[in-house]
A and B are shown apart, each in its own frame.
Chain A
């Protein structure tokens, strides 16, 4: 069964600090891995997308890494801001004839405090 596990479940940091979120997955056949940011009551918004051959991808203060051998990914947030408070969801995609089957991690709820 395809699974995506994230840690920690929740995290509180002070504004300006850095943090790293983790994602482990067992999804086959692997297509890509994405990190989404989801504000409460809103739809997820994609931050980064990485395929099998990509090790790192940056989007402003967000940097994602992917180790396809160990099936692990991380999302590093630098110089956190209050607006970074949200849930961060790791989503792994498997391509099949029905489309892109997405397996969601449980998310990490990040709170940035002043």
Chain B
């Protein structure tokens, strides 16, 4: 199983809503990532979890709250988002401290629209 599964695939939410994005992998990877991607731009790193601990937070606003309940799951809790937060949110995982051939696998993304 080399899949990273993200749910939901599409999400429309109002600015006062609370929602969560979910990401799951069963490859035994110990590093998991959230990326935000705007149209025609490369993905931008938001958070990195390494061995279930938040290791990197790229100055992301507090309306985005990550959570890593266990080594297979990664959530992104959303609250009071703005229309400019509309984007494709990608989850990825990798082996962690792996060395040269370690590869990151990406989920299919959640297309988020904030209205």
Contacts and interface: CB of A to CB of B under 8 A. Distances in A.
Interface of A: 31-32, 34, 36, 41-46, 49, 51-52, 89, 91, 93, 95, 97-102, 104-107, 109
Interface in B14-53: 30-31, 33, 40-45, 48, 50
Contact of A102 (B45, B50, B109): B45
Interface residues of B, number: 35
B101 A51 contact: yes
Contacts, number: 83
Given A42-B108, A100-B31, A100-B94, A32 B101 contact: yes
B115 interface: no
Contact of B43 (A31, A44, A99): A44
Q: Which 9 A/B pairs are nearest by Cβ-Cβ distance?
A: A99-B31, A43-B106, A104-B42, A98-B55, A51-B100, A43-B108, A100-B94, A99-B50, A98-B50
Interface string B76-115: 0000000000001010101111111111111111010000
Given A98-B50, A98-B56, A31 B45 contact: no
29 contacts: A31-B99, A31-B100, A32-B101, A41-B109, A41-B111, A43-B4, A43-B6, A43-B90, A43-B107, A45-B106, A46-B103, A51-B101, A89-B42, A93-B104, A97-B97, A98-B31, A99-B30, A99-B31, A99-B33, A99-B94, A100-B94, A100-B96, A100-B102, A100-B104, A101-B56, A102-B33, A102-B92, A104-B44, A106-B42
